Amino acid sequence: METENRKLLIEGAHAFGVYLEEEAVRAFDLLLKELLKWNRKINLTAIRTEREIITKHFLDSLSIHPYLEKSVSLLDVGSGPGFPGIPLKIAKPALDITLIDAVRKKVDFQRHVIRSLGLKGMEAIQGRIEDPETIRRMEGRFDRVVSRAFSSLPTFLHLAYPFLKRRGIALVMKGGLRGEETQTGIEGERDRFTLQRAVVFPLPFTSMKRTLLLFEKQ
Q: Count CA atoms closer than 13 A to 132's CA, side-chain side.
A: 0
Over the stretch 63-113, which tens digit does the pLDDT of each residue have? 999 999 878 999 999 999 999 999 999 999 999 999 999 999 999 999 999
Once rounded to an integer, what is the mean pLDDT over residues 115-144?
A: 97
- Lay out the sheet containing 193-202: strands in order across: 122-126, 96-101, 73-77, 142-148, 164-174, 209-217, 193-202
pLDDT band for 151, please (50, 70, 90 cuts): confident
Strand (E) or helix (H) holding 124: strand 122-126
Residue 162 has pLDDT above 70, yes or no: yes
Once rounded to an integer, what is the mean pLDDT over residues 119-125?
A: 97
3-state secondary structure of 129: coil
Q: Cis link prior to 66 (omega < 30° from 0)?
A: no
pLDDT score, position 69: 87
43: domain CATH number is: 3.40.50.150
Q: Which domain holds residue 90?
A: 3-217
CB 174 within 8 A of CB 149: yes
Reported pTM = 0.94
Tell me how many domains the chain contains. 1
pLDDT score, position 187: 64
Cα separation, 126 vs 50, in Å, equals 27
CB 169 within 8 A of CB 144: yes
Q: Amino acid letter at 200?
A: V
